[in-house]
Amino acid sequence: MCNSNLNCRLTGSLFFESNVNVVNSEFISSKYRGAFIGRYSYINPGGIIRDCFIGRYCSIGRRVSIAAGQHPYHYLSTHPFSSSCLSPKSSITKKELEKSVLPEGKNIKATVPLTTIMHDVWIGDGAVIVKGVKIGVGAVVGANAVVTKDVPPYAIVAGVPSKILGFRFRNHIINELLASEWWNLNHEIIVNNIPAKNIIESLEKLKELIQKNNSGQEKEDIFLFTN
């Protein structure tokens, strides 16, 4: 059962699990990539999202930009007219261009990176996530931050460019949370059995459920939304 609300403008394809909520945002996927949203994640109005993976239980604020388009600064001009050099009418071939501006063994298609927002990530209003960045499980991105580098799990980052201000928990708790993979558990079991407001009690209950093999990992259907 889908139970998702997708109020968005879409160019390309969007794959999603159940109970996703997207409000007045825009998804743009290239012919090489697409977008995916995991269950119970939500995106507030004004978002612009390109070619990305968004995990489960993510909270994304208003006017967030994820993997925005980038301009080719190694061409004659950063203006889009320079991209016409890839057209059949150009005097330089795609292969010659790759050889002149890209590292050996790379090609233009392979340089379209996938931006990854892992599970339980909170992104504040107005944040910008640069293309190709990976934000780890449980991380927090402050409002109006510009994230240009990968963010470790459970880190708290803010600023322009963003810097790590701290971590939500101590290392041993972070390691236990990552090992539990609680976001894969049945949602009803999480809501009805895990005391979410106390992290120590949450971990103890998670261990108990996993040891009893009563975790009930949820198998989700994946839906496709395309224009």
pLDDT in tens, 41-98: 999 999 988 888 999 999 999 999 998 777 777 777 777 766 654 444 444 444 544 4
Q: Is the distance from CB of 136 to CB of 155 less than 8 angstroms?
A: yes
Structure tokens at 175: 């390691």
Burial environment of residue 212 by CB neighbours within 10 A (0 to 12, 13 to 18, 19 or more): exposed
Beta-bridged to residue 14, according to DSSP, are 35, 225
**How much is the pLDDT for 100?**
45
Residues 6 or more apart in contact with residue 20 via CB below 8 angstroms: 4, 5, 6, 37, 38, 39, 40, 41, 42
Write out the H or E segment, with its range, that includes residue 94.
helix 94-101
Give the pLDDT mean for 148-173: 98
Q: Is the distance from CB of 49 to CB of 26 less than 8 angstroms?
A: yes
> What is the percent of the chain where pLDDT is above 70?
71
**How much is the pLDDT for 85?**
47
Q: What are the b/e assignments for 152-176, b being 16+ CB within 10 Å? A: ebbbbbbeeebeeeebbeeeebbeb
DSSP state of 13: E
Structure tokens at 148: 């240009």
Give me the catalytic one of 71, 74, 79, 172: 71
Residue 89 or residue 213, greater confidence: 213
Please state, in angstroms and rounded to a whole number, the distance separating the CA atoms of residues 21 and 120.
Answer: 15
Q: Is the distance from CB of 123 to CB of 138 less than 8 angstroms?
A: no
Task: Identify the top-confidence range among 2-11, 119-128, 214-223.
Answer: 119-128
> What is the percent of the chain where pLDDT is above 90?
44
Give the pLDDT mean for 201-225: 71
Query: At which residue do the structure tokens 């994304």 appear?
Result: 60
3-state class (DSSP) for residue 118? coil
In one-letter notation, the amino acid at residue 223 is: F
Query: At which residue do the structure tokens 């106390």 appear?
Result: 198
Band (16; pLDDT cuts 50, 70, 90): confident
**How much is the pLDDT for 98?**
44
Name the average pLDDT for the chain: 80
| Catalytic annotation present for 79 | no
Please state, in angstroms and rounded to a whole number, the distance separating the CA atoms of residues 53 and 177.
Answer: 21
Question: Are β-strands 42-43 and 5-11 bridged in parallel, bridged antiparallel, or unpaired?
Answer: unpaired
Look at residue 150 and tell me whether its pLDDT is greater than 90. Answer: yes
Backbone angles phi, psi at 107, to 5 degrees: -140, 170
**CATH class of the domain whose range is 5-67+113-168:** mainly beta
pTM (two decimals): 0.79
CA atoms within 13 A on the CB side of 14: 26
Task: Give the range among 116-125, 145-154, 173-182, 203-212 with minimum mean pLDDT.
Answer: 203-212
Of 67, 118, 66, 76, which is closest to residue 97 (Cα–Cα)? 76
CATH 2.160.10.10 in the chain is located at 5-67+113-168
